[in-house]
Amino acid sequence: MTHKIIILDFGSQYTQLIARAVREANVYCEILPYGKYFELSADIKGVILSGSPCSVNDDNAPTVDVARLVQHVPVLGVCYGAQLTAKVMGGHVDKSNKREYGRAHLHLQHSDDVLLQGITEGSQVWMSHSDSIKHLP
């Protein structure tokens, strides 16, 4: 059985870059449109929720059953995916005080987290967002 990661694409222009990073870690992954149903089979070891040009607060914002996913596999939300996860799980997402776009440098608040192993403090990243998670679930 080949272990795999599912990437649910909400229309992000960076979904292919996420997939490339997963594959560079020698992990098989598949990109699926967010609305496509898939079985949570034993070979799926995690799900990544991509970014989106939408806001989770938009009427008809794209969504998935995050509560179902987190019951079965680890879920990583990137930008919109993180905001969707926060909102669905009881957090609060709202407009940021200012839109942020461009290069930024990471500040690791929990550098001992297994998810952040190998990530260097101050790593350069790209950001493009106008919403933020105001309160965690």
Instruction: Give the pLDDT confidence score for residue 89 in this predicted structure.
Output: 95
CATH 3.40.50.880 fits 4-135, yes or no: yes
Segments in the chain below pLDDT 70: 1
Instruction: Give the pLDDT confidence score for residue 135 in this predicted structure.
Output: 93
Instruction: Give the pLDDT confidence score for residue 99 in this predicted structure.
Output: 82
pTM over 0.75: yes
Instruction: Give the pLDDT confidence score for residue 11 in this predicted structure.
Output: 96
Q: What is the pLDDT of residues 31-46, one digit of tens each?
A: 999 999 999 999 999 9
Cα–Cα dist 116/131, whole Å: 23
- For 71, 78, 79, 130, the CA distances from 102, given in Å and listed in that order, are 35, 16, 14, 12
In the three-class reduction of DSSP (H, G, I as helix; E, B as strand; rest coil), residue 32 is classed as strand
Instruction: Give the pLDDT confidence score for residue 120 in this predicted structure.
Output: 86
Domain parsing of the chain, residue ranges: 4-135
Instruction: Give the pLDDT confidence score for residue 129 in this predicted structure.
Output: 78
